[in-house]
A = this chain, B = another copy of it.
Amino acid sequence: MTEHNGKALAVARSYFDAMASKDADKIVSISADDIICTSPIGELNGAAAFRGFQEGFSRMIKKLTLLAAFGDDDQAVIVYNADTHPVPNSIVAEHLIIKDGRIASTRVIYDATPFAAYMATVQPH
């Protein structure tokens, strides 16, 4: 089996498509109940917290563009460009671990600096 046919890669692709179409229900349906999500904002535990994270992200998304997707039966890595309010082009990588057809964990990797800089401009004075 080549990587392009890996079970984890298939789940990662479904996850990306769900993010791009802002479908939080779909994301949660392919996430483990005890999913662990690590990102620049910290570690989140459980599907409810992960839904909140995804809903917050989806409100920012203008367009997601997949740049790379690789994986095997157990894990996958996706790289995508996020055109968002407020940061036009942010490159994001996610390293997903898949168990029993669901996302057991994802590490979300991106530079939070531009987002923090934006937030600083919209804080009440």
User: Which chain A residues have a beta carbon within 8 Å of chain B's beta carbons?
Assistant: 1-4, 38, 40, 67-68, 70-72, 75-77, 79, 91-93, 95, 107, 109-113, 116
CB-CB under 8 A from A76, the residues of chain B are: 70
Taken together as a complex, chains A and B put the C-alpha atoms of A40 and B112 apart, in Å, by: 9
Main SS at interface, chain A: strand
Interchain nearest-CB distance for A113 vs B (Å)? 5
Q: Which residue of B lies closest to A38 (CB)?
A: B91
A95 and B111 contact, CB distance less than 8 A: no
Q: Which of A4, A92, A107 has the most CB of B within 10 A?
A: A107
Interchain nearest-CB distance for A11 vs B (Å)? 15
